[in-house]
Structure 1
Amino acid sequence: MNPPSATTGPPVHRVALLFNASKVYDREVMTGIADYINSTRAAWDLFLEEDFVYRLNGIDQWEGDGIIADFDDPEVARALGGCRMPVVAVGGSYADEREYPLDVPYVATDNRKLVGLACEHLIAAGLRHLAFFGLPADPGRRWAREREQACRDAAAAVGLPLAVYQGLTTRATDWGEAMNGLTQWLQSLPKPVGIVAVTDARARQLLQACTMAGIAVPEQVALIGIDNDPLTRVLARIPLSSVMQGTAEMGRTAAHLLHQMLGGARLGNLRVVVPPAGIHVLASSQPSRAGHPRVMRALMFIRQYACQGIRTEQVADYVGVSRSTLESHFRRERQCSVHDDILRQRIEVACGLLRQGTGQIAEIARRAGFSSVQYMNTVFRRELNCTPREYQTQWLGSHPAKEKEQDQ
């Protein structure tokens, strides 16, 4: 530890963060750590690898004062076992107490509440068939096993059947086989069904498999992931619902505990379990009343391509019927035209972009599939009784805290 200085205030501590920034979970934990440092008198000199990926080689020789590390990786737990400097562990919660490390303060995400919240959301949507898409067993992914068991328990508690599929690990050599297996599993499930995916990455695979199999999301398969990963949302054509982990709070808590330890506190086996921050509910988990198969197939196409300038004729071609036949189905089941649903989807996308509070109106109009800003203004005035800018101002004025939370 560097000595205190009369001019610089509290002593500066050298703290290592052993996290992998390629994972949204780790990035947000580190964001929470940064929030704590910036809002307190903690003076830390942070050690991270330049590419923000932790490497354990040589960590036992690092001359520092404290470490905050992701203990979901068993190698990390082994490498830091018996470490003489203060260590705070971050990871998943476990039903079996023996899964936790000894003599290390531990800050955990609540796996049971994460999955329970997802199940409650799907059940509240009226779904009476549930499924879980997990990951193959792996010592480095004990949290996935915990989430799978939590889903089994949640379904059993309300007397609903649960189908579980672990699939294959994502690799280039096995991608075709993995997607074929996932598609076959989806086709075998009773419909409509609500599926909890162990992560957003697995939820995105579900969306792709549903598209390949012509399964309508969310009418036939409603799904929700875990992580609220912005990158996954960008890579998915249908907006993906997700449970938000309390990762930033985990980071702040871990930093607070280490700060106490650096001041001489002995915390031993202290455990803090952090609940989820809520659910970001989007189109993938909001099923409407099941209707004619042609309507569901058309809606799936519209959700994916409405912002690409599609027209009613293209939707009818995809479904394989004439425009008049498809229009007849829509009028009967949805009391609107195909064009109305295309426009509704564009408005929903535009509103979502406006609520983010960033981006030029012209760029938002383009991304939402409107031919011009003037046309988007006309549609908003007709359908929402306001301009896009007025909508954005009203939303951000009444939901500042919510928007900040969703953008984290």
Structure 2
Amino acid sequence: MLMPKSHRIALLFNANKIFDREVLAGIAAYLSSTRKSWDLFLEEDFRLRLPGIEKWQGDGIIADFDDPAVAAALERSSIPVVAVGGSYEDESNYPAGVPYVATDNFKLVKLAYEHLIDAGLRQFALFSLPEARENRWAQERENAFRRLMERDRIEGEIYRGQGTSAPSWDEALQQQIAWLNSLPKPVGIIAVTDARARQLMQACLIAGIEVPEQVALIGIDNDPLARMLTRIPLSSVIQGAQEMGRAAAHLLDQAMHGVRLADTRILVPPAGINVLASSKHEPAKHPHVMRARHFIRQFACQGIKTEQVADYVGISRSSLESHFRQELGCSVHDEILRLRLEAATSILERGECNLNDVALSCGFTSSQYMHSVFKRELGLTPRAYQDRAIQARRALGEDSPLRKNDNDDDQPIASQHSDALGG
């Protein structure tokens, strides 16, 4: 039996970036579902091997074109190239003669903005990156934010800050704190990446700015690492990066079989939002309640008790309990327990894990106590909750987001050129 021809494909992505890893996962999913025979060539960070790439004797290349150096290096490639990157308001910014799969920058920002509006916010800001050719995608997200502000006649703030490096960490942090203090409150802030959102979260915590009561924060990327490195769980827009990878692989497959695809353009909308504590803005009537909840969000899983919360706020336990009952209809302990339960369900939804470890990491005194809380509050055991969550994920597909964009259907995006500014 003749074996199918194997194609030599170079994947020029930076595997240190969550966006690039998700695109690579989409390429892998396409190969798995179609049983294509591709020999893949990739580096952890392809930029270390970029010189001479135009002379590589392969069959095709899929590359991240957000880096201008990549576009320049592949300009004279003699083999099929498919580009992946961000969308552009100005059509001339797209590479000529190259099929291009883009994340829709306008819709990413629009979805984050609409989420903050739904949370009841009316003042907004964007935390971006310094202007640079390699940050063109961030500037496009700025453009999207400006257009939305102009459309709704809102005075939105944009802050770029510094590019971070060890010598400038403290200076950058103090500048972020000064910017945060200058903003009217409450304010909803969109960060152009989860990494920038995490920096701003840290600045809020150091400055004693309550999240999300004073600053409701949402990033873009849905990066698990960024979530693990923040005390308050970070909300984030989920890019359709895996769908981008599948679309790019399909285009390259077509190009290698002679289909003419020059200037074909596919815009992939966001997959949804992972809504967590950082953007769940609930206006508090009493400052003591707001301050207490800010403390609880940070330390609920570290075994804190009501007395410690009252000490942080600076009032007696009985006074704090009275304020909680009046405003939230629950006790301080109830609020602590609610956040521990929320943290535990989040871990269990990810897949198999040790229940003792879950209980310990979420601040429960024992797995038995966690078991009783689950039964009382949710009506089922932690293991039953985990099994149900796993079954639901399998029914929807392993890569299904926690919350889908209401405007998306369930079909892959496979249209030709469409408006870079979306809806």
Shorter-chain TM-score bucket reads over 0.9
Equivalent residue, structure 2, for 1:7: 2
Equivalent residue, structure 1, for 2:149: 155
Equivalent residue, structure 2, for 1:317: 311
1:173 equivalent in alignment to 2:167: yes
Aligned equivalents of 1:27 and 1:309: distance in 2? 35
Equivalent residue, structure 2, for 1:226: 220
Query: Mapping of 1:62-81 within 5 angstroms?
Result: 62-81=56-75
Equivalent residue, structure 2, for 1:374: 368
Equivalent residue, structure 2, for 1:3: none
Local SS of the residue matching 1:201: helix
> What displacement does 1:53 show?
5.9
Among 12, 17, 26, which residue is 2:20 paired with? 26
Aligned equivalents of 1:225 and 1:404: distance in 2? 19
Change (3 A) 1:219 1:171: same
Deviations 1:288-307 (A, max 9, x none): 13222221111111111111
Local SS of the residue matching 1:362: helix
Aligned equivalents of 1:56 and 1:398: distance in 2? 43
Q: Which is worse superposed, 377-386 or 260-269? A: 377-386
Aligned equivalents of 1:381 and 1:270: distance in 2? 54
Equivalent residue, structure 2, for 1:39: 33
Change (3 A) 1:293 1:231: same
Local SS of the residue matching 1:219: coil
Conserved? CA contact 1:21–1:53, under 8 Å: no
Deviations 1:149-172 (A, max 9, x none): 101111222222211111111111
**Residue identity opposite 1:257 in structure 2:** L
1:199 equivalent in alignment to 2:193: yes
Aligned equivalents of 1:149 and 1:180: distance in 2? 26
Equivalent residue, structure 2, for 1:91: 85
**Residue identity opposite 2:316 in structure 1:** S
> What displacement does 1:396 show?
3.6
Q: Which is worse superposed, 290-299 or 226-235? A: 290-299
Equivalent residue, structure 2, for 1:183: 177
Among 5, 10, 14, which residue is 1:16 paired with? 10
Conserved? CA contact 1:16–1:48, under 8 Å: yes
Query: Mapping of 1:240-319 within 5 angstroms?
Result: 240-319=234-313
Conserved? CA contact 1:132–1:165, under 8 Å: yes
1:349 equivalent in alignment to 2:343: yes
Local SS of the residue matching 1:296: helix
- Unpaired runs of at least 5, structure 1: 1-5
Q: Which is worse superposed, 341-350 or 158-167? A: 158-167
**Residue identity opposite 1:144 in structure 2:** A
Aligned equivalents of 1:240 and 1:199: distance in 2? 11
Report percent identity of matched pairs.
61
Equivalent residue, structure 2, for 1:210: 204
> What displacement does 1:125 show?
1.2
**Residue identity opposite 2:144 in structure 1:** A
Deviations 1:241-299 (A, max 9, x none): 11111100111111111111111122111111111111111111111132222211111
Aligned equivalents of 1:380 and 1:104: distance in 2? 54
Aligned equivalents of 1:66 and 1:395: distance in 2? 40
Aligned length: 401
Conserved? CA contact 1:355–1:403, under 8 Å: no
Conserved? CA contact 2:307–2:317, under 8 Å: yes
Local SS of the residue matching 1:91: strand
Local SS of the residue matching 1:243: strand
Local SS of the residue matching 2:344: helix
Q: Which is worse superposed, 316-325 or 351-360? A: 316-325
Change (3 A) 1:98 1:227: same
TM-score if structure 2 supplies the norm length? 0.91
Change (3 A) 1:243 1:50: closer
Conserved? CA contact 2:54–2:78, under 8 Å: no
Conserved? CA contact 1:131–1:193, under 8 Å: yes
Equivalent residue, structure 1, for 2:321: 327
Equivalent residue, structure 1, for 2:387: 393
> What displacement does 1:204 show?
0.6
Change (3 A) 1:344 1:402: farther
Local SS of the residue matching 2:282: coil
Change (3 A) 1:71 1:310: same
> What displacement does 1:358 show?
2.2
Aligned equivalents of 1:368 and 1:402: distance in 2? 28
Alignment root-mean-square deviation, CA: 1.6
**Residue identity opposite 1:232 in structure 2:** A
**Residue identity opposite 1:121 in structure 2:** H
> What displacement does 1:23 show?
0.2
Q: Which is worse superposed, 48-57 or 140-149? A: 48-57
Aligned equivalents of 1:29 and 1:357: distance in 2? 22
> What displacement does 1:30 show?
0.7
Aligned equivalents of 1:331 and 1:284: distance in 2? 23
> What displacement does 1:65 show?
1.2
Local SS of the residue matching 1:405: coil
- Unpaired runs of at least 5, structure 2: 403-423
> What displacement does 1:44 show?
1.0
Q: Which is worse superposed, 347-356 or 241-250? A: 347-356
**Residue identity opposite 1:21 in structure 2:** A
